[in-house]
Amino acid sequence: MSVNKPGLPKLNMQQNTLGSASFKTSTASKLATSTRTGFGVMAQRTKVGTGAIFNVKAYNSDSISAQRHALNDNRTVIRNNNIIGTPVAHNCSGNNAMNKYAMALQAASLVTQALGSLTSAKSSGTAAAKVASAVTSGSANVINDLATAKNSSEIQKGLAKLETEMKDYETKMAKAEETIQSETKLKSENEAKLKDTETQIQGEKQNITKQEGTITKLQSSIQTDKMTLSTLKSQLATAGDLAKVSIQTQISELEAKIAQEEKQLDDAQASKEASQKKLDELGKTKENLTNQIATNEKNIKNAEAEKNSASAKKDSLGDAKIKYTKKLTETQNKESKEMSKLFSEIANYAKEFRETTDTNKKNKLSEKYTEKAKEYNELVRNSASTSYTEVGIDLNNL
């Protein structure tokens, strides 16, 4: 047996095959169609001499126990420079329920799941980012700003944004209502046109049916009259003088009748063709009107959805307005009390500073004043109240 190409054939599986639904099929196909020869003691992997290695289904079906027996029963003596290497028995681990190929597929499945999870996580992350972006826009964003406001100034700014947002939704509602009314009117007009078109279609169909009956009747009559005319003409050649006058009269009358019938036939055929042409035009008109009505209904539905959405968001903002207007008043009152308290403290520090001549005491009073003045000014800057103004923070420059 050739040993110059030991091991199993390279299956040349593409890397991106992992994770695809056809991994098992692709691998099985590669194994089953491989034409490589010289496996070197059959890679000590499958039954020797049975051809099982060329039957992927048979190989995949074997349990670990069956493989162990096949390998040990067919151990090969390897000679290298006339030195005999004693074959070593194979002790395949695992139980009879295990299957090496199945285990490989299971491992590939785990890889697939992991890759799928990563892909899903990436996709869902992008989707989540879009959702998050949508949630933080519009009314939700305004309400979130109000909910996280730290002072009355921020609440006041949030309420101003809320008012603007409410007006925007009112504009959207009005615009949607205009669309609903205009599209409803167009739909009604198109439905009236469609009804008239369908009436015309029925009329043209009835005329076609009527003319077809007239055409059939005239064609039959003309055929009969022409046969009669032919008979009369043949009789005319053998008739006497007196009979010829009578036959000639009949021939003239019959020819006039045939001419009249042929004209009527032409008129009936022309009327049928005109109705058929009109019917084709009416069919296109009906299709266009049907499509327009469907578009009208879609536009009405979309406008109603937009109106309802804007109305719901406006109502949500209205509730928030009531809530945070109350919170603004409460916050302003709280801030006013705090500013009043701080103003009294810094006023006392300033008074003591002016009244004392002790340098050390002046320095301490100046430090305390500066600390409280900064705190007070911070409150004034962040408050919506206009009852207080900032003060200087250095007593020496006052």
Q: Where are the domains of the chain?
A: 15-128, 147-323, 341-397
Considering only residues 336 and 95, tell me which one the structure prediction assigns the higher pLDDT.
336
Other Cβ atoms less than 10 A from the Cβ of 393: the count is: 17
Is residue 254 within 8 Å of residue 229, measured between CB atoms? yes
What mean pLDDT comes out for the span 78-95? 47
147-323: CATH topology: Helix Hairpins (1.10.287)
Confidence of residue 169 (pLDDT cuts 50, 70, 90): very high
Is residue 159 within 8 Å of residue 326, measured between CB atoms? no
| Per-residue pLDDT, 141 | 86
Give 269-318 as a DSSP string. HHHHHHHHHHHHHHHHHHHHHHHHHHHHHHHHHHHHHHHHHHHHHHHHHH
CA distance 395 to 198: 94
Instruction: Tell me what percent of the residues of the chain surpass a pLDDT of 70.
Output: 65
Global confidence as pTM: 0.52
Contacts of 204 (CB under 8 A, 6+ apart): 275, 276, 278, 279, 282
| Per-residue pLDDT, 292 | 97
Contacts of 244 (CB under 8 A, 6+ apart): 236
Taking phi first (over 0 means left), then psi (-120 to 50 degrees means alpha), and beta for anything else, what does residue 271 get? alpha
Q: Please give the C-alpha separations between residue 114 and each of 70, 82, 108, 186, 383, in angstroms, as whole numbers.
A: 36, 51, 10, 55, 54
Give the DSSP letter of residue 40: T
CA distance 224 to 218: 10
Contacts of 14 (CB under 8 A, 6+ apart): none
Other Cβ atoms less than 10 A from the Cβ of 151: the count is: 17
How high does pLDDT run on average in the chain? Answer: 77
What mean pLDDT comes out for the span 136-153? 82
CA distance 181 to 183: 6
For CA atoms 317, 321, 323, 324, give the dihedral sign.
positive
CA distance 129 to 220: 80
**2 has pLDDT over 80:** no
| Per-residue pLDDT, 68 | 55
Is residue 268 within 8 Å of residue 211, measured between CB atoms? yes
Among 61, 57, 52, 58, smallest CA distance to 99 is for 61
Other Cβ atoms less than 10 A from the Cβ of 135: the count is: 11
Point out the least confidently predicted range of 177-186, 266-275, 306-315, 379-388: 379-388
Q: Which residue matches tokens 């074959």?
A: 87
32: helix, coil or strand? helix
pLDDT digits (tens, 9 = 90+) for 263-285: 999 999 999 999 999 999 999 99
In 155-282, DSSP assigns E strands to: none
74: helix, coil or strand? coil
| Per-residue pLDDT, 69 | 55
**234 has pLDDT over 60:** yes
| Per-residue pLDDT, 240 | 78
pLDDT digits (tens, 9 = 90+) for 34-77: 554 444 444 444 455 555 555 544 545 555 555 555 555 555 54
Tokens of 95: 């139980």
